[in-house]
Chain A
């Protein structure tokens, strides 16, 4: 009976809620609009002031407080001490001076002054405040020595001195105090009066230094433009509330907040209308938080860049593109990028497919070892690989070139192989991006039902025939999406082209973008034009692999673990094992060994074992420097913060995607996928262009901008891991816990959380590791205090010494390998990278 009543009352509540929710949401939307309007008004006020930066405006506000206190503490008592006629004379002199100053700076300045003085409040008070400010803004003209003398005196003397000064101002014949004599010098008339007045203000006490400091800030932004009336109005006008001041000095942020509130309200209304339910779902708030973050830091920069590229001067024009793509260097870069990415894709896939098949589906010796070896390459920073190959294939001192020359008795002329060429770059790109295809393809191979192949065998097809008629066609979607992944990764890679391409003048789109960014404002526009090219490629590929291929995906995760049918290689077993080993030695072992040995060399051209060439000085120098340690700390901290925030989002998203049918859950999923598919350089460029205060957020040159960039790029790695783990756990396990009396939260922690913990840990590391050694985005976003180890390594390689950078590279590799080991232990061998 009781429960019946309770049910009824909730029913009634539900009936009532729609109206309330609608009203509240519309109110929130209107509030957002109101905030936008307020911000817009603030922006107009701000524009009136003529300041070019928020800092200037902030200074004015700080100053206005200082002016007030100076008036109350110092000026007012002294002026009050004068008799009426003296006071009138001082006022008159002050007015004359101020008027002449304003007039000298701006036509009609005197009229403006008169207007400012009639605006209410005591005229004299306003007059002195304005005078005071004017002097602060224009700088005291008192000679430095005089100022020192003046401020050096004690309070009693100072008071006497100031009185004497005021007397001088009213009476031209009165004796000038000794300390001020130097300042006045041979000035006469109004100039003399002005100097006396200035001296008076400058001497007015302890606030001096602080006021000068503020004044400097103002001067910086105001001086060139001349003194603006409204700024002074703001200073002298006591009626301005702190809130309005806040709005004016942060008008863009206010508008942004308004837009967010309004957009969220609209989104929520939209979701509710689609759902036809007017009860606010808690999950929608989670979605909104994630969506807001991504809209702000991912979509706004990207859209802004697109707009900016097509409207360089505020009007639609293709000028930027015309200029960029008729410039031969850019054209070369474009061509190089396309050729390199295409070749890398083809080569990488041609390597990855047979490797994945041999390792996954045959009785090759040492399958497991090879598998982890190839996957491990995925975790190595590409630029480290580039460094290794540079050491090996340098036309002059490259180890392999030296071997070949010795082997074939060639002359000491450079060559025969040269890494500083397009083919050289393609080779290195292939070595480091084929694992992307390898992982995608072998995952699909493992998931394929072996009886599909057995059915072909029993139908009379040989293993090879089966490979081509059944295995390959069924894997084609995965194969293509792996290949596309290689293509887009190679096209948007910066580390390898910058290390290998730049010295050889093989430019790519990414290196051109970074070069343009370093050119400043005009460069930024051109960089945008180049970035749009990468963005378009990435979006097309994302569309193909996520929309077109996903529909043709045959291989789905089955709950059953399948034991793949193993093909007996028979007489080919040993030769193929040798071939795979050779590949592993060339692609994995030799580069790492090179890095290792180079780090112990004095002269990179000689062997590590030659006398006097072995040294540990590279290691001790690199890791003995505080700067290295700072960079390492930065990298670890940024990586950890990114991974932690990212994995929280990943868990929330997995829950929303796997356990709820809440409408709108696909929106953040889509945005996160889009973000991770966007080339790093494009993400960073977008952030540079929009996060420096021009849109109300100023995180430029801070750690935040880097963490945001890493999050956008790598969050999805964590999300996919957790999502797939959660999809393996049948919801009935959770339902069973709840039916046993555990609350939702307890169930999440005790059952789901416990079961997917290994994946959560793996997801954390999958975000952490690439963030830890990131280079492409860091190159564009770092500041002197936020340098990371990856960038430090790059600088060492370019400007300092190759052996030292090899020591650092090997250090990074060690950290990655140790982390991998920790992960393996932590998840009881279930996960390693």
Chain B
């Protein structure tokens, strides 16, 4: 229910610039994910929104009110924002009720009302029967939900989540993912969610901001950035992808390292190119456009992960699980290509894929 407007925000710790020129507006009720490898600056951005860090330059508005920038700085406690921390930060000296009630107690809300609100929010996170427990008597998932309840109890306009699921096991993570999304839909609040887990980002977000080295690489809906990555980094970070160097000319791309095999291309790029192919977009077909030798197959249940040697290049193919062992290793195969992406080859690929730590 709040908008967040970020104007020319940069952040540097000493000489180390962690955030360069962030410009964006998060709309009311949007679920925004800041995604990127660790150390990319996403948590710093979140902490700037929360008010735990001051931007080095630039301005930050919440609901069109300036909160950081210039001489203005509104401390976190005055921003009416909810936040869930990676470590949950559930206070060990208070029980669940007191933890959740804390933001209301600070606001000096009448006791009866506190009781009602806390009961309500505990119901939302399915913790009603645990109100009297202390954090050391709760599991990690329950503590996580206490933190969520505490962030929600004061009905904030904006909810910030800092990798809230990274300390949970895989099963729990998956179910919490949908719970958080569900709660957001129910309450209709604006959420800024930080994660390094692309699946999490894809599942929950309205918009994803993919950040690397302090720069937003691309922003858009999950489908958009998955299917139309702005650059090689985005393509590589989301899902699986293999890059092949080629030459585009006369409506065809020729791959020198695949014995000079080629396939048709009608796009605008010519000259040296990088072709990015997702392994699930390759398939075995009699009339395939690439020819090679099947070298290995790994059975993963739902899919069959294969390696095919085409010229000097080893190509990864993810085929359906039922195709396993229909082909034998060493057999000549042909590969069809459902979809591929073409980027200009300016020699920066290696550098771009290198993740800053």
Which residues does A use to contact B, with CB under 8 Å?
449, 451-452, 454-463, 465, 469-470, 473-474, 476, 554, 565
Contact = CB atoms under 8 A, between A and B. Distances in A.
A456 B106 CA distance: 9
Interface of B: 50-52, 75-83, 85-87, 89-93, 102-103, 106-107, 147, 150-151, 154, 160
A458 B150 CA distance: 10
Given A458-B77, A463-B75, A470-B91, 11 more contacts: A451-B85, A451-B87, A451-B89, A454-B50, A454-B85, A456-B102, A457-B52, A458-B51, A460-B103, A461-B106, A465-B106
Contacts of A455: 83, 85, 89-91, 147, 150
A7 B160 CA distance: 59
A465 B75 CA distance: 13
Contacts of B102: 456, 459, 461, 469
A452 B106 contact: no
29 contacts: A449-B89, A451-B85, A451-B86, A451-B87, A454-B50, A454-B85, A454-B89, A455-B83, A455-B85, A455-B91, A456-B91, A457-B76, A458-B76, A458-B79, A458-B81, A458-B83, A458-B151, A460-B77, A460-B103, A461-B102, A462-B75, A463-B75, A465-B77, A473-B93, A474-B93, A476-B93, A554-B92, A554-B93, A565-B52
B154 A459 contact: yes
A554 B51 CA distance: 27
B91 A460 contact: no
Contacts of A554: 92-93
Which of B51, B83, B89 has the most CB atoms of chain A within a 10 A radius of its CB? B89
Contacts of A456: 91, 102
Contacts of A449: 87, 89
B156 to A, nearest CB: 9
A474 B91 contact: yes
Given A451-B85, A455-B83, A455-B150, A461 B91 contact: no
Contacts of B103: 459-460
Contacts of A454: 50, 52, 76, 83, 85, 89
Contacts of A465: 77, 106
B64 to A, nearest CB: 21
A470 B52 CA distance: 17
Given A449-B87, A451-B89, A474-B92, A462 B77 contact: yes
Contact of A461 (B52, B77, B82): B77
Given A465-B106, A474-B93, A458 B86 contact: no
B214 to A, nearest CB: 18
A456 B86 CA distance: 15
B313 to A, nearest CB: 36
Nearest to B81: A458
A469 B92 CA distance: 12
Contacts of B83: 454-455, 458
Nearest to A455: B89
Contacts of A470: 91
Contacts of B82: 458
Contacts of B160: 458
Contacts of A460: 77-78, 80, 103, 106-107, 154
Nearest to A458: B83
Which of A451, A460, A473 has the most CB atoms of chain B within a 10 A radius of its CB? A460
A461 B78 CA distance: 8
Among all A-B residue pairs, the 9 with the closest Cβ atoms = A459-B103, A455-B89, A451-B89, A451-B85, A554-B92, A457-B76, A460-B106, A458-B83, A452-B89
Nearest to A558: B87
Which of A451, A459, A465, A476 has the most CB atoms of chain B within a 10 A radius of its CB? A459
A581 B203 CA distance: 55
Contacts of A463: 75
A458 B147 CA distance: 12
Contacts of B87: 449, 451
Nearest to B54: A568
Which of B51, B77, B151 has the most CB atoms of chain A within a 10 A radius of its CB? B77
A465 B77 CA distance: 10
B91 A457 contact: no
Nearest to B78: A460
A143 B106 CA distance: 103
A354 to B, nearest CB: 21
Nearest to A472: B93
Which of B92, B107, B150, B160 has the most CB atoms of chain A within a 10 A radius of its CB? B92
A455 B151 CA distance: 9
Contacts of B90: 455
A734 B107 CA distance: 52
Nearest to A465: B106
Contacts of B81: 458
A460 B107 CA distance: 7
B41 to A, nearest CB: 16
Which of A458, A462, A469 has the most CB atoms of chain B within a 10 A radius of its CB? A458
A811 B85 CA distance: 52
A457 B103 CA distance: 9
Contacts of B75: 457, 462-463
A459 B150 contact: yes
B27 to A, nearest CB: 22
Contact of B106 (A459, A473, A474, A565): A459
A451 B50 CA distance: 12
A451 B143 CA distance: 14
B98 to A, nearest CB: 10
B80 to A, nearest CB: 8
A94 to B, nearest CB: 90
Contacts of A458: 50-51, 76-77, 79, 81-83, 151, 160
A555 to B, nearest CB: 9
Contacts of A461: 77, 102, 106
A123 to B, nearest CB: 88
A463 B75 CA distance: 9
A452 B107 CA distance: 19
A554 B78 CA distance: 28
Nearest to B86: A451
Contacts of B52: 454, 457, 565
B77 A457 contact: yes
A128 B82 CA distance: 106
A460 B147 CA distance: 15
A463 to B, nearest CB: 8
Contacts of A473: 93
A460 B76 CA distance: 7
A756 to B, nearest CB: 27
Nearest to B107: A460
B221 to A, nearest CB: 29
B242 to A, nearest CB: 33
A452 B102 CA distance: 12
Contacts of B77: 457-462, 465
Nearest to B153: A459
Which of A455, A462, A470, A474 has the most CB atoms of chain B within a 10 A radius of its CB? A455
B84 to A, nearest CB: 9
A48 to B, nearest CB: 67
Which of B78, B80, B106 has the most CB atoms of chain A within a 10 A radius of its CB? B106
B35 to A, nearest CB: 21
Contacts of B89: 449, 451-452, 454-455
